[in-house]
Amino acid sequence: MTAPSVRVQTQDFELQVEIEALTHDRRDIGAVVTFTGLCRDEQGSLSALELEHYPGMAEAEMQRTAELAVERFSLLGLTAIHRFGKIAPGENIVLVIATAPHRQAAFDGASFMMDFLKTSAPFWKKEHKADGSTGDWVAAKDADDRARDRWR
């Protein structure tokens, strides 16, 4: 088992580099599941999302969740990266990679990590509109709480 790797950063990440960091020189991994969350613009009115975070607590909360996931699903490795700052539609926001001997643990580990990250890691999204105006703060969704609660 590898200790989970958690990062909060402004710069983008590279999926292949992060997978390689978890799988290099290992023969025991049978499954790698990755989730990438992107900034999306459904109405064509968004210029960017601004991601604010609570420095220190964001990393700590992601680390706590990552350790729970590794323990619960016996993961061989877990990487979670969350960006902050201004992120344009089409750009990456978050990456989770879970590795395990078999697929179900890797799927569940990645899913658990994302569900808890969304509801407990201190990040907030604010909209910047294409017309130059500042939009609203994105509202939290009940569906995200329900997604988290199915793991209880």
Partner 1 sequence: MPKLVYFAWVRERIGKPEEQIELPEDVRTVRQLLSHLKTLGEEYEAALQYPEVIRVALDQEHVEHHEPIGNACEIGIFPPMTGG
Residues forming contacts to partner 1 in the complex (CB under 8 A) are 37, 51-54, 56-58, 60-61, 82, 93-94, 114, 117-126, 137-140, 144
| CB of 131 or CB of 142, closer to partner 1 | 142
* Cβ(96)–Cβ(79) below 8 Å: yes
Give all strands (DSSP E) within the chain, no chain letters: 5-9, 31-38, 46-53, 77-83, 85-87, 92-100, 123-129, 134-137
Q: How far is the CB of 84 from partner 1 (least distance, A)?
A: 9
Q: Nearer Cβ to partner 1, position 66 or 118?
A: 118
Residue 6 vs 76, nearer CB to partner 1: 6
Q: Measured between alpha carbons, how far is residue 5 from residues 37, 46, 62 in Å?
A: 18, 32, 9
Shortest reach from residue 31's CB to partner 1, in Å: 22
DSSP 16: H
**CB closer to partner 1 out of 30 and 56:** 56
Which letter does DSSP use for residue 90 in this model? Answer: T
Least Å distance, CB 140 to partner 1, is 3
